[in-house]
Structure 1
């Protein structure tokens, strides 16, 4: 197994602190923002320490089935092992592991079910509760049960990862229950500049002010503006009664024009509240872009992918 830690991940810089904390404490809390690399690098640190050996495993919980599988795939790829050998995963109806498995990524529901058959969780020497700040019922049940189990199994290590705001709560809880200090390792996140632009329905295109030729605001008749309402039967979204799918299509069109003047083609991610909205936005975008959304061989093609 390869033990390489990408230098661009903030958690890599805290590797030695995390390793020392795990060696000296039964419970360790790793606190940090999304994007710091906790989920993928922590199991590697534990494996390098020798955890998950002598017939026992490291179990790493994820709140969702898809996350359990993709996290296991990523860790296996980084370590240069085949999924199902040293690194495996288990979700409902699927167990991709073997007798060689040292790290098992599971959903928190799977770990709860295993407690019924193995109350002392003797299969494991290390438990990682990931995304503990989500505070689902499963996570709360697990943390409550482990609080009672840890004094009975002094060899068992518990590592909790959490967003910064909740780490103190977990620290106080376990210090009070176990009557010992619980270290919190702070890991910074990776941040990128974010520009927030509000564009109420019925207003001029907000992003166009920074596009050459639009410094005073886009007006009908300008060449680039026409692409914002080129499709037939699409209402100008400056009308007060414009619907949301049309407004989303125009916002995406603005971003496309803005990026073409700024830094070239980019990807756009639109968050919607449900499947119906996703289809409505997709239809509005396909209607707006017409042939550009149909023929992927065009140099100006735009691929629209509902997720």
Structure 2
């Protein structure tokens, strides 16, 4: 070990500590190693230290999320007794901290993918740790496939794949029967309370669950599906005026200082409200109780609409069990599930890998942007259907994202394609945004695109169809005008008017008042909140691309033209 390294020690309470010598030897003997262990086993924080102990000098450590990359780097540096940026640094989009002395760089998997375009052999690393591989995001599958191709050309490169104890055999097989080291520790028993929500109001159910848990010692972790839901739940819990209780949110867009508060010591009880980043990527200390509404935002391609959507869906059994396991580390825990046991057993066992629920045009676009080569030759852990690949190339041609004549084996991106690859939506929807920027109507098209990407917020319950239709019909014409005289019949215009109406109502009403208004007008409150969340995310992505939201009002002709730019093959001609 180099003399300039800090002293490396391991916490005896962590299950992985008993395997340090075994892991050092396995790293010496094998090029690829699969390390399996549940969250809390210590694999994420201790593996980089084991690599340093084994004499590795340039270690890249990937995380699926920015929030995890920042906090992990800070934690490892703290354990080494150093400030962040010396032996341990990090790099995420728009932020980095490292120095000449940095030996471990914690980064998002997207950062490592971007580096491949400039460093095909990844020469800056002698060791790579691909963390949370069981999540099977597109980025993780891209990295696993690329490394499979790269390893024969880089015999000096060591790769460690870490995973919860889910389907580790598949990763071992992918890398020619790589050895699997199991480091899971003994967890405490977790009692499951099923408290299904009957009226659809998860905020009330969360507050009720907190009341039922009473004044038991230990902190509470509440899972929420998005940032806006976290904010609403935070307000609702603070309104309960609980004594000696601190309520803290945890999501990606918080500042680093606000995120770090979750990991600091405290007195009294703490209630942490987090997205599924706290399911596997981060270990929030002190948790004895979990409240699980059972939902997460999951990207999924709709074969019917031919568009990638971001619906809030029930989580899989594996995810639910991961969440429950968060409260069994310090002692016996309680997980309150806001759904029934029958609902749990009817859910799929595992979350479907992202590549199997993604429009392949998006996959081809991302692969071409990262310079990963032909999709048909790429060694995916689970290869996509070849017919869908052909459809994906056809769609990218239609959108002007690839050069004419682009084949499955030789896709070259146009300037439009490069920009589409950087927008976190389906290529059709991304094309609408790019065209609206060109036509000066981005401000109006942003909510339209966000509205198309989620399930319709308008509801038509069978017993109230006529009443719902009458209320929704208002948006077929400019609000305040006579609907019969000025209805324009445009779904696009109706969606924009509904957005403007909801925005005005949100400003005028209290949180509960707005929720009641949505219910009275047959608008799904959770989907409305989802619509607002996605709009905020897209607005940020467009700003990062240098796109400009117009100040002057845009006419409907420009708005329709921009939307149709993403739907060329959906255009029909009506016979007179």
TM range (shorter): 0.7 to 0.9
1:4-63 Cα shifts (integer Å, max 9, x gaps)? 1111111110111111111011111111111100001010011011101xxxx1111111
Structural mapping, 1:263-278, within 5 Å? 265-278=217-230
2:208 to 237, 244, 250: 250
CA distance in 1, matches of 2:179, 2:229: 45
Report the CA distance shift for 1:306/1:109 in structure 2 as closer, same or farther (over 3 A).
Answer: closer
1:46 corresponds to: 51
1:238-297 Cα shifts (integer Å, max 9, x gaps)? xx869543333232112125x2xxxxx43222223334443444444344x3xx44xxxx
2:563 corresponds to: none
Structure 1: give runs of 5+ residues left out of the alignment: 176-180, 202-239, 260-264, 294-299
Deviation of the 1:98 alpha carbon: 1.1
2:182 corresponds to: 186
Deviation of the 1:156 alpha carbon: 0.8
2:258 corresponds to: none
Structural mapping, 1:180-259, within 5 Å? 181-200=177-196, 243-257=201-215, 259=216
Relative contact order: is structure 1 or structure 2 higher (C-alpha 8 Å, sep ≥ 6)? 1
Report the CA distance shift for 1:45/1:256 in structure 2 as closer, same or farther (over 3 A).
Answer: same
CA distance in 2, matches of 1:61, 1:200: 37
1:58 corresponds to: 59
CA distance in 1, matches of 2:201, 2:103: 53
Report the CA distance shift for 1:254/1:3 in structure 2 as closer, same or farther (over 3 A).
Answer: same
CA distance in 2, matches of 1:247, 1:34: 27
What SS class does the counterpart of residue 305 from structure 1 fall into? strand
CA distance in 2, matches of 1:97, 1:23: 27
What SS class does the counterpart of residue 165 from structure 1 fall into? coil
Report the CA distance shift for 1:113/1:245 in structure 2 as closer, same or farther (over 3 A).
Answer: closer
1:302 corresponds to: 245
Q: Determine if contact 1:2/1:78 at 8 Å carries over to the other structure.
A: no
1:132 corresponds to: 133
In the alignment, does 2:33 pair up with 1:28? yes
Q: Determine if contact 1:115/1:121 at 8 Å carries over to the other structure.
A: yes
Structural mapping, 1:75-94, within 5 Å? 75-94=76-95
Deviation of the 1:193 alpha carbon: 1.9
CA distance in 2, matches of 1:12, 1:168: 23
- Larger mean CA deviation between 181-190 and 126-135 belongs to 181-190
Report the CA distance shift for 1:190/1:279 in structure 2 as closer, same or farther (over 3 A).
Answer: same
CA distance in 2, matches of 1:185, 1:172: 14
Deviation of the 1:197 alpha carbon: 1.7
Q: Determine if contact 1:34/1:163 at 8 Å carries over to the other structure.
A: yes
RMSD: 2.0
TM-score, length-normalised on structure 1? 0.74
1:172 corresponds to: 173
Structure 2: give runs of 5+ residues left out of the alignment: 1-5, 251-576
CA distance in 1, matches of 2:75, 2:54: 20
CA distance in 2, matches of 1:279, 1:70: 21
CA distance in 1, matches of 2:82, 2:40: 24
Q: Tell me which stretches of 4 or more aligned residues in structure 1 moved more than 6 Å.
A: none
What SS class does the counterpart of residue 59 from structure 2 fall into? strand
1:14 corresponds to: 19
CA distance in 2, matches of 1:11, 1:185: 10
CA distance in 2, matches of 1:275, 1:68: 19
1:148 corresponds to: 149
Report the CA distance shift for 1:254/1:123 in structure 2 as closer, same or farther (over 3 A).
Answer: same
TM-score, length-normalised on structure 2? 0.40
